[in-house]
Chain A
Amino acid sequence: MKCFFINLDQAQDRRQALEQNFARFAPADWTLERFCAVDTQTAQARKITGSLRPTEIACGISHLDLMRVKREETAPFLILEDDALFGPHSCKALSDAVARLEQQETWDILFPDLCIVQIGLMAELLALRRQLMREGQFRLLDPSRWAFSSATSYVLHPRAIPKILSAQPKDWTLPYDLLLRQLVQQGRLRARCIFPFALSLEETSNNSTITPGDETRTGFIWYLFRRMIWRDGNFEEHLADVENVSQGLSAETWAHARLWAAMADPSFLPK
């Protein structure tokens, strides 16, 4: 599979980290090509306007520019931001998922990883992950009714390119990932997500160049969930961070945490 990653010239550390991570886990028939991200000055010079932060606008333009350049591609390809993270099972899971999709349905976009923001959905995904890991299976889920975000990675079918390009806003009022979500929720893009997630994101993402790291503690919690729930994730690596976010919780919240822990435990029998 062809993979293209978006990377700012000054973000050499991220470039190196992703290239090394890819080299470690991708099979020989997978390729990785860098696409130079549009920076904020270039975006401003192109007189692109909107109410978003300049970094968010530049990020969206980068994704769309990449699509324009690759519009002649004939096979599905993977678009990555430079904080995407591969694991030992990523490439096989993605290859299998694309093969299954090509056999079964007409699809536009496959998300290997999403930022989920609903607690209830997170709880259901944890139970589903446990089941699928036990069976050694993955599932292709329809995210069109979820509140999700993230464009860190997605496999694009070439048929989706004109659909996304035609949705390019004149004024950017929605970040690119939420634009994708809107297209999915409106039924203009047929999306699936592979679960357990096949990819995740590097730790640098919680200090993303797009979203200020101190903007919300919530963002860090979402990030932790993505690192703990993906196919190659290991919750034990994140226990210190979990301990950190638990500081200062109210007594009521702790009581519910205990109840949710009981429900999240394998001993709980859902009906």
Chain B
Amino acid sequence: MKCFFLSADGDPQAWAQTQESFLNHAPAHWEIDFFQLNPKKDLVSVWRDLVLGQQALGQPFMVATPGARFGQHTCTTLDNSVAHLEKSGGFDLLFSDLRLLQAGAMADLFVLRRQLAEHGRTRLIDPRPLVFEGPGACIIHPRACAHVGTLASAASLRELIEGALCQPVREGGLMARFVFPFATMVSSGEDGIVPPEPEARSAAIGDIYRRMVWRDGGCEPELAPLAQMSKGLSTEAKAFAILWAAMAD
């Protein structure tokens, strides 16, 4: 599987971290390349060239965004998932992780993760009924390239991923699944601080969650940001959360 690490700002550190996790875990038939999406050159046309070039090769390929990390089970899980989907009607996009922002769905998936983990199993889930954004990595099937490559505009990598990969799925133009437990994860920021602004804070919560429920992850690395985040929460929210936790235990 060919994997393209997408970078809009050419940040060498982000690339090095993703590349390191990839080299530690990917088997020989996987390869990774750095792909610069230079905003000065027109993000959309560079993206289109990449996607249409891969369409010509006729193989599914992966795009990964800065922060994406591979784990011990990432490649096997994704290889198996692609093979399974190919046998059962095909797919357009396969997200290897997502940012989810509905407490209900996140809680249900946490319980599901425990059930699946007991048997070492993975489920391929349709993201359309869920509120989602920001995949850290995604496998694109050649059959979807024409659709994915035709994007009117994008001023940033975030807008490009949203417009090319997420929005068409929400609108029903592309058929997507996401792997659960997530096969990849997105690393935390430099300091791991949860921002106080509501919107950024909600996104940070979504990212902590995906780091806690990915296939090769757990909660321990997140305990410090979680402790910081729980300061100042309402007693009511804490009381309900304990009930749900007790149910999930």
Chain A: residues with CB nearer than 8 A to chain B?
Answer: 118-124, 126-127, 217-218, 221, 224-225, 228, 235-236, 238-239, 242-243, 245-246, 249-271
Residues of A within 8 A of B247 (CB): 119, 218, 221
Closest to B101 in A: A271
Residues of B within 8 A of A123 (CB): 103-104, 107, 240, 244
Flag if A119 contacts B235 (CB, 8 Å).
Answer: no
Residue in contact with B198 in the complex, picked from A119, A127, A267, CB distance below 8 Å: A267
In the assembled complex, the Cα of A19 lies from the Cα of B212 at a distance in Å of 50
* Given A217-B246, A249-B245, A255 contacting B133 (CB threshold 8 A): no
* Given A119-B108, A262-B230, A253 contacting B248 (CB threshold 8 A): yes
Flag if A257 contacts B198 (CB, 8 Å).
Answer: no
Chain B: residues with CB nearer than 8 A to chain A?
Answer: 101-108, 110-111, 131, 133, 198-199, 201-202, 205, 208-209, 212, 218-220, 222-223, 226-227, 229-230, 233-249
Residue in contact with B219 in the complex, picked from A118, A252, A264, CB distance below 8 Å: A252
Q: A255-B219, A260-B106, A264-B103 are in contact. List 14 more A-B contacts (CB 8 A).
A: A118-B108, A119-B244, A120-B107, A124-B103, A126-B240, A245-B246, A246-B246, A256-B245, A258-B226, A259-B226, A268-B201, A268-B202, A269-B201, A271-B133
**Complex A-B: 28 CB contacts under 8 Å:** A120-B106, A122-B104, A122-B240, A122-B244, A123-B107, A123-B240, A123-B244, A224-B243, A225-B240, A228-B243, A235-B235, A235-B240, A242-B242, A246-B246, A251-B219, A251-B220, A253-B245, A255-B219, A257-B244, A261-B230, A261-B237, A263-B106, A263-B205, A264-B240, A265-B234, A269-B199, A270-B103, A270-B131
Closest to A217 in B: B246
Residues of A within 8 A of B246 (CB): 217, 221, 245-246, 249, 253
In the assembled complex, the Cα of A245 lies from the Cα of B239 at a distance in Å of 10
Flag if A262 contacts B205 (CB, 8 Å).
Answer: yes
Residues of B within 8 A of A269 (CB): 198-199, 201-202
Residue in contact with A259 in the complex, picked from B104, B205, B220, CB distance below 8 Å: B205
Closest to A234 in B: B236
Closest to A246 in B: B242
In the assembled complex, the Cα of A255 lies from the Cα of B111 at a distance in Å of 14
In the assembled complex, the Cα of A259 lies from the Cα of B213 at a distance in Å of 12
Residues of A within 8 A of B131 (CB): 270-271
Flag if B241 contacts A257 (CB, 8 Å).
Answer: yes
In the assembled complex, the Cα of A252 lies from the Cα of B249 at a distance in Å of 9
